[in-house]
Structure 1
Amino acid sequence: MSGRAGSDEPERTARTPIPADIWVLVSAAFIVALGYGLIAPILPQFAASFDLGVTAASVVVSSFAFFRLVFAPAGGRLVDRLGERRVYVTGLLIVAASTGAVAAAQDYWQLLLFRGLGGIGSTMFTVSAMALIVRLAPPHARGRASGLYASSFVFGNILGPVAGGLLAGLGMRLPFIIYAAGLVVAALVVWVRLERQPQLDSQPVTGNRPGPEGTGAEVGSGEAAAAPAERERMRFRDAWQDSAYKAALGSGLAVGWAAMGARIAMYPLFVVAVLGAEPAVSGVALTVFSVGMAVSVSMAGRFTDTWGRRPFLIVGLGVLGAATMAVGLVDSIWVFFVLSLLAGLGGGLINPAQQAALGDIIGPDRKGGTVLSRFQMAQDLGAIAGPIVSGMLVDALGYGLAFTVTGAVALLAALGWLCARETLGTRPA
């Protein structure tokens, strides 16, 4: 499907409100992202303070993503068995406990263990948050809900390092304590607010929720809803038959590789080694990328509910890939900033459409924890492999080829969506 999903889509989208519970998740996501931005610049320095070298410090950073990847299948099963809300809150509390333990770490091995365990909690609340948005967001406002959720992370990541700079003189352990406290607050807010709707852990949402995909019907609050044992669980092999899900796995891998992994690993080194600028300039470039995402993510979230998911995914992956490939050819810091902005704009177009497409594939009345966890694994795999492969290419053949390969991964993912179906306005497969 291309173009508008239907002539009545703009009107339907305009009158479909975002549920209050989505705003609760958006608020919690902002707290999580703000705290992550607070500790992200400090964690490598804190690890290096144990005098075991740069490699050992880098392993601490990677351990978080590694544990996320390994635990993702179990996290998906927990969501299907225990319910989204319980797993979400438990995940937040695990990250809070591990972050507080990091602040108290007395040696490198404690730091490595505590930070790695946080990855378990992270994948729990990430997968359950995606599942909650699938269940809570009306089908014709799914893109807007996903855009709001993504925007909260972007703004939190922008403001977090700023707050971290203000705390720089108070020691490296305090930001971890503040982040842990913030996670506890977020967990309490989610638990108390969603506790008023206990069906989130026992049955599909009732009240003024949409009926089956594409029908426009609503299910009344008095209508019987299925218990979790009666609610169908979508299996990975079922989702794999859907061309859109295969494309989503590819775009998840590409975003993890290009936007979350290789970019963060290569920008600081490229700025110094090729552009001859100060290391602080890389921080500016990363911020410019985030600003680009902030500009495009909310727009994409709104219009993907009108124009469909595929156009934004294809264009976003194309822009991200082309801009990333071009970075390896520049020798001007100002051109580098422009390309960073363009890459961020492309990245912002992807996230809401991708999340909304996953919601379309699963539908609100199926349990999709396993399917969502496999998607999260693809993204984490890209975030882990991207820096490693890029580093090997830089050492062997230079930055130009490393950025070219990174951009090509995104362009291949765009090709995957060219061959996939449009999910907006269609019933789950």
Structure 2
Amino acid sequence: MSSGQRRGTLAVILASATLTVMAGAIIGPVVRQIQLGVGVSESLAGLIITTHGVLIVIVSPIAGLLVDRVGPRRPYVFGLLLYGIGGGAGVFVDSFVPLLASRVVLGVGVAFVYTGVTVLLYTLYAGQRMERALGLRSSANSAGAAVWPLVGGALGTLTLQVPLLGTLTWQTPFAVYFVAIPLGLAAIVAIPETEHGGRSGSTGRTRFERLREFLAVFRDVPAIPAVYLLYFGANLLLYAIVVFYPQLLAEFGITSSGIVGIYLAVNGAAGGVSAVLYDRLLGLTDRHTLVLAAFALWVGGLGAATVAASPLAALVPVVCFGLGLGLVFPSSFAWIEALAPSDRQGSLSSYLASAGYLGQFAAPIVFGVVLSLSGIRGVFAGAALAALAAFAIFGFLLVRREQSGRPS
């Protein structure tokens, strides 16, 4: 590919990466309006946010297997088109069950897009270019986390009269999902076919034998499950911020959804900064050290949340956490690329997506228990202790690695 084609290909991939964040973020600010619009309880309205995440956890391994069979391009394009159809369908519905069904379709689309983006970056780029691309992918995710809630909140305030559809109120933000359809058409042109896919040597083996071979990868490379745990934990702590930080801000009299959105946007922007610099930082040190630094930032930031006494001081935790997140996310993807056999990168990267969304889903449950026991400050104290434990364990393993003389 020419340099211009490479830039166009990367632009399409990075734009797609923001869609995986948008899946929930675009309607997060208008859940209350949706609840009133379809006439359901708060818990049922919450399913509109979480259902697609559950589907991603379930479907991502299937998407990974397909990517390993046929390569990433076609599943990725399919995912984009399905994303646009499932997400945009919310414009046309005014009752709960069809809306929930559309979120199921959206979740399937996100699973294919997420895994497709990951493996495309593995197969189209190598070395320093791949590190740069992975950093930009995390930066794109952070930018989406900063921008899409603001877009959704702004659109949720509009009332539109649309021919044939009538009056749109809470449905308006769902129209943004349609952007995935032209993006999918652009991907058909911009994304080249790769040699990835079509595992050799699998013909004639039983399903049980193929499963045994797959599980043997985890036995032979135990670092892969450790990366999944890292990614799960990062998303668990991220959603402790997303879900519970508004309650902390309420202690300072900050209840406006717009201002709360700014704090969350700062978290995403900080992650974008460190992710953009990721490949340069990697030139100065190694991935292990960057992740250890991220844990230190999380300990300091989450600990600061437990003692923050003003709106200005409340900015410190989201900045520190975001900076750390921008180091952990690309490191996780890069480790899977380095550790996974080339014929199983789709499958093994898909479990990374499942681990991440499982962490997001678990955060309100885990920290909700902490909230009931020790209040909102206790939530962030518990999160800080978890980050401190990760720092201590990872630091100990890193010291032992250095002492054994193995390269980091």
TM-score normalised by the shorter chain: which range applies? 0.7 to 0.9
Distance apart, 1:101 and its partner CA:
1.8
After superposition, the C-alpha distances for 1:253-301 in whole angstroms (9 at most, x for unaligned) are: 1111011x221110112221x3333333322211221121122111123
Match of 2:320 in 1: 342
Choose the corresponding residue for 2:64, options 76, 92, 96.
Answer: 76
Say if 1:386 and 1:406, in contact at 8 Å, map to a contact too.
no
Hey, what does 1:187 align to over in structure 2? 184
CA offsets 1:400-426 (integer angstroms, 9 cap, x no match):
22212223333444455442679xxx9
- Give the residue type in structure 2 aligned to 1:133: L
Match of 1:122 in 2: 110
Q: Which residue of 1 aligns with 2:172?
A: 174
Residue 294 of structure 1 aligns with which residue? Answer: 272
Structure 2: state its 5+ residue gaps.
160-168, 203-209
- In structure 2, C-alpha distance between the alignment counterparts of 1:102 and 1:163, rounded to whole Å: 16
Structure 1, 275-284 or 112-121: larger mean CA deviation: 275-284
- Aligned pairs (5 A) from 1:299-310: 299-310=277-288
Normalised to the residue count of structure 2, the TM-score between the two structures is: 0.83
Residue 360 and residue 415 in structure 1: after superposition, are their counterparts in 2 closer, same or farther (change >3 A)? farther
Change (3 A) 1:321 1:137: farther
The answer for the alignment partner of 2:214 in structure 1 is 235
Alignment-derived partner of residue 226 in structure 2: 247
Distance 1:304 1:416 in 2: 22
**What pairs up with 1:23-422 in 2 under 5 angstroms?**
23-30=11-18, 33=21, 37-167=25-155, 168-170=157-159, 171-180=169-178, 182-194=179-191, 197-198=192-193, 200=194, 203-204=195-196, 228-230=198-200, 235-259=214-238, 261-272=239-250, 274-280=251-257, 281-362=259-340, 365-415=342-392, 417-418=394-395, 419=397
Tell me, what secondary structure is at the counterpart of 2:138?
Answer: helix
Q: Any conservation in 2 of the 1:37–1:158 contact (CA below 8 Å)?
A: no
- For the residue of structure 1 that corresponds to 2:199, the secondary structure is coil
Aligned equivalents of 1:32 and 1:371: distance in 2? 18
Structure 2 CA distance for aligned equivalents of residues 294 and 349 of structure 1: 10
CA contact 2:21–2:144 (8 Å) conserved in 1: yes
Q: Does the 8 Å contact 2:56/2:108 carry over to 1? A: yes
2:313 alignment partner, SS class: helix
Q: Quote the RMSD (CA, aligned, Å).
A: 2.9
Separation in structure 2 between the aligned mates of residue 357 and residue 151 of structure 1, nearest angstrom = 18
CA distance in 1, matches of 2:219, 2:13: 28
- Partners in 2 of 1:368 and 1:416 — Cα distance? 27
Range moving further from structure 2, 378-387 or 244-253: 244-253
SS of equivalent residue, structure 2 residue 343:
coil
Give the letter aligned to residue 392 of structure 1.
V
CA deviation after TM superposition for structure 1 residue 373, in Å: 1.7
User: How many angstroms apart in 2 are the aligned matches of 1:32 and 1:68?
Assistant: 10
Shift of 1:156: 3.0
In the alignment, the residues of structure 1 paired with residue 391 and residue 222 of structure 2 have an alpha-carbon distance, to the nearest angstrom, of 13
Report if aligned partners of 1:91, 1:123 keep a CA contact under 8 Å in 2: yes
**Distance (Å, rounded) in 2 between the aligned partners of 1:125 and 1:330:** 39
Instruction: Assess if the C-alpha contact under 8 Å between 2:122 and 2:337 holds in 1.
Output: yes
Structure 1 residue 303: deviation in Å? 2.3
Q: Tell me how far 1:55 sits from its aligned partner.
A: 1.6
Structure-2 change in CA distance of 1:31 and 1:257 (3 Å): closer
Q: Determine helix, strand or coil for the equivalent of 1:335.
A: coil
Counterpart residue number, 1:218: none
**Larger fraction in helix:** 2
**In 2: Cα distance, 1:357 partner to 1:295 partner:** 21
Distance 1:355 1:132 in 2: 12
Q: Which runs of 5+ in 1 are unaligned?
A: 1-15, 205-226
Q: CA deviation at 1:24?
A: 3.1
127 and 176 in structure 1: CA distance in 2 versus 1, 3 angstrom threshold: same
In 2, the alpha carbon distance for the partners of 1:35 and 1:246 equals 26
| CA distance in structure 2 between the aligned counterparts of 1:231 and 1:43, rounded to whole angstroms | 49
Shift of the 358–107 alpha-carbon distance from structure 1 to 2, 3 Å rule, reads same
Task: Work out the CA distance in 2 between the residues paired with 1:356 and 1:285.
Answer: 29
For residues 355-377 of structure 1, the C-alpha deviation after alignment (integer angstroms, 9 at most, x for no partner) is: 222211126x4331221122222
Question: Residues 176-230 of structure 1, C-alpha deviation per residue, up to 9 Å, x if partnerless?
Answer: 12322x1001111112112xx33x2xx24xxxxxxxxxxxxxxxxxxxxxx7233
Q: Is the 8 A contact 1:143 1:303 kept in 2?
A: no
The corresponding residue for 1:224 is none
- The residue type equivalent to 1:387 in the other structure is P
Deviations 1:326-365 (A, max 9, x none): 31232322111122111111111212222222211126x4
1:12 aligned residue: none
Letter in 1 for 2:174: F
Is the CA contact (8 Å cut-off) linking 2:270 and 2:319 kept in structure 1? yes
* CA gap 1:331/1:115 in 2 versus in 1, 3 angstroms: same
CA change 1:27–1:109 in 2 (3 A) is closer
Equivalent residues of 1:88, 1:128 under 8 A apart: yes
